[in-house]
Structure 1
Amino acid sequence: MDPRSEVLLRQAELFGGQLLLAGLPADDLLGQLPEARGWSWHAGDQARLEARFAGRCRFGVAPPEEAFRAAVLFLPKSRELTGYLLTALAARLPGGELFLVGEKRAGIERAAKQLQPFGQPRKLDSARHCQLWQVRIDQAPATPDLEALARTYELPLEDGPLQVVSLPGVFAHGRLDRGTALLLEHLEHLPAGHLLDFGCGAGVLGAVLKRRYPDSQVTLLDVDAFAVASSRLTLAANGLDAEVLGGDGIAAAPGGLAAILSNPPFHEGVHTHYQASEDLLRQAASHLRAGGELRLVANSFLKYPPLIEQHLGPCQTLAEGNGFRIYRARKA
């Protein structure tokens, strides 16, 4: 059981009835709170929860339409995303209760201050290196306009500027990260056919691929619903047509790909996770056609070449700079 869920269950009498658990972990909390429902924006957690508690958790960037008398937000990493989520929940709870739970090292005490616009927050519990806060919604806000919270920036390219639309919580929110910038300089001579932007974030790479290879089918894939929404906004802002999928890692990707391109994630929340990136390296071959190519950028300290060579083939370093390297390998 996730320690944040354990803290909730220490106060289980507060969490009966029509309760919404927002950003909940994929543990047994829904089993312990049989009347509660979930809202997830992580496709992996959503799939695991759906497998165990069918129909009790919704995936997306807005709260479910069903009524709820109280809500619990599991603190996300991004302060801006926290602000949107708290406002979206508080707007649905005039006179109701909103709870915030999170790890101390994730900044739960600082985040609890974001409850103040809605009422007087109070700390209910502190245990398992976590804290639980509560506020009664005395001042319900208007429903937030998520797209109005987007940051848009222009990326100068040889074939004209690209508009990038980034929603709160998305990787490198409102800016181009250095790894992606390096990869964008090395997109030449890709095989013709279906191209995949894995871990698409705000859709920068996928949009550039579609513009540079207009005759190729392009798919963008991310585990995060806010990244999926951002990518769709970026494509629309540039008049580009590509498929955007929400899915749990490379297993959700189509097959028969000509190339997989990625700035793969290795951070999630306050913890460091390499699983999605390592799964990509281990499973890329099963999604590539013969002669298909994996091309990715990664921090120089990550020991990816041995994994690439073990599961795909000889690994070439195309470029390096600013602490990043671009690797390329082809399926025989």
Structure 2
Amino acid sequence: MDPRSEVLLRQADLFRGDLLLAGLPADDLLGQLPAAIGWSWHAGAHQTLQARFDGRCTFGVAPPAAAFDAAVLFLPKSRELTDYLLNALAARLPGRPLYLVGEKRAGIERAARQLAPFGEARKLDSARHCQLWRVTVTNSPPPTELQALAQHFELELADGPLRVVSLPGVFSHGRLDRGTALLLDQLDRLPAGRLLDFGCGAGIIGASLKRRYPESEVVLLDVDAFAVESSRMTLAANQLEAQVIAGDGIDAAPNDCAAIISNPPFHQGVHTHYEASETLLQRAASHLRAGGELRLVANAFLKYPPLIQAHLGHCETVVSADGFRIYRAQRG
């Protein structure tokens, strides 16, 4: 059981009514709170919860339409995303309780101050290196339009300006990160056919691929609903059409790709996770056609070449700069 869920269950009598669990972990909390429903924006967590608690968890960037008498937000990493989520929940809970739970090392004490606009916040519990806070919503905000929180910026690329739309919580929100910038300069001479942008974030790589290779089918894949929505908005801002998929890792990707291009993630919340990236390297070959290519950017300290060579073949370092490396490998 996730320690945040354990803290909630220490106060289980508070959570017997119609309760929304927002950003909940993929554990047995829904089983312990049978009147609760879940809202997830992580495709992997949602898939696990749906398999165990069919129909009791929704996926997306907005709260479910179902009524609820209280809500618990599991603290996300991003302060901007926390603001959006708290406002979206508080708008549905005038006069009712809104809870915030999170790990101390994730900044729960700082985040608790974000409850202040809605009423007087109170700490209810501190255990398992976590804290649980509550506010009764006396100041209910108007519903928040997520699009109004998007950051828009423009990249000057060799084939013209690219408009980017970034939502709160998306990787490198509102700016171009150095790894993606390096990868953007190494998108030439990709094989013809289906191109996959794995871990698409705000859709910068995917949109660039579709514009550079208009005859190719381009697929963008991310585990996060806010990234998926950002990618769709970026494509629309540039009058481009591509398929955008929410899925947990490379297993959600189509097969028979001509190339997989990625700035793969290795962070999840405050924790460091390499599983999604390592699984990509281990299974990329099964999603590439013969002669298909994997091209990715990674921090130079990550020991990816041995994994690539073990599962795909010869690994070439195309560029090394600014603490990043571009790797290229081809399926035989």
What range is the shorter-chain TM-score in?
Answer: over 0.9
Partner of 1:125: 125
Deviation at 1:43, TM superposition (A): 0.1
| Structure 1: distance between partners of 2:44 and 2:166 | 21
1:147 is paired with a residue of what secondary structure? helix
**2:227 is the alignment partner of 1:227:** yes
Q: How far does the alpha carbon of each residue in 1:28-87 deviate from its partner, in whole angstroms, 9 at most, with x for none?
A: 000000010000000000000001001100000000000000000000000000000000
1:142 is paired with a residue of what secondary structure? coil
**2:29 is the alignment partner of 1:8:** no
1:80 is paired with a residue of what secondary structure? helix
Partner of 1:286: 286
Q: How far does the alpha carbon of each residue in 1:187-213 deviate from its partner, in whole angstroms, 9 at most, with x for none?
A: 111000000000000000000000000
Deviation at 1:158, TM superposition (A): 1.8
AA in 1 matched with 2:7: V
2:236 is paired with a residue of what secondary structure? helix
- Give matches, 1:9-48, under 5 Å: 9-48=9-48
- Give matches, 1:160-179, under 5 Å: 160-179=160-179
| Structure 2: distance between partners of 1:150 and 1:158 | 25
Taking structure 2 as the reference length, the TM-score comes to: 1.00
- Give matches, 1:122-161, under 5 Å: 122-161=122-161
Deviation at 1:17, TM superposition (A): 1.4
AA in 2 matched with 1:11: Q
Deviation at 1:150, TM superposition (A): 0.4
- Give matches, 1:1-332, under 5 Å: 1-332=1-332
Deviation at 1:119, TM superposition (A): 0.4
| Structure 2: distance between partners of 1:43 and 1:7 | 24
| Structure 1: distance between partners of 2:11 and 2:148 | 36
| Structure 1: distance between partners of 2:263 and 2:109 | 32
AA in 1 matched with 2:77: K
| Structure 2: distance between partners of 1:129 and 1:171 | 26
| Structure 2: distance between partners of 1:269 and 1:64 | 23
AA in 2 matched with 1:255: N
Q: How far does the alpha carbon of each residue in 1:94-120 deviate from its partner, in whole angstroms, 9 at most, with x for none?
A: 111000000000000000000000000
Q: How far does the alpha carbon of each residue in 1:204-252 deviate from its partner, in whole angstroms, 9 at most, with x for none?
A: 0000000000000000000000000000000000000000000000000
| Structure 1: distance between partners of 2:289 and 2:16 | 51
1:317 is paired with a residue of what secondary structure? strand
Q: How far does the alpha carbon of each residue in 1:144-178 deviate from its partner, in whole angstroms, 9 at most, with x for none?
A: 01000000100001221000000000000000000
| Structure 2: distance between partners of 1:107 and 1:138 | 24
Q: How far does the alpha carbon of each residue in 1:11-42 deviate from its partner, in whole angstroms, 9 at most, with x for none?
A: 00000110000000000000000010000000
2:202 is paired with a residue of what secondary structure? coil
2:302 is paired with a residue of what secondary structure? coil
| Structure 2: distance between partners of 1:321 and 1:145 | 39
**Percent identity (aligned):** 75
Deviation at 1:301, TM superposition (A): 0.3
| Structure 2: distance between partners of 1:177 and 1:4 | 31
Q: How far does the alpha carbon of each residue in 1:122-165 deviate from its partner, in whole angstroms, 9 at most, with x for none?
A: 00000000000000000110000100000010000122100000
| Structure 1: distance between partners of 2:121 and 2:315 | 54
| Structure 2: distance between partners of 1:159 and 1:251 | 32
2:201 is paired with a residue of what secondary structure? coil
| Structure 1: distance between partners of 2:9 and 2:209 | 47
| Structure 1: distance between partners of 2:282 and 2:49 | 25
| Structure 1: distance between partners of 2:313 and 2:15 | 52
Structure 1 unaligned segments of length 5 or more: list them: none
**Matched pairs, number:** 332
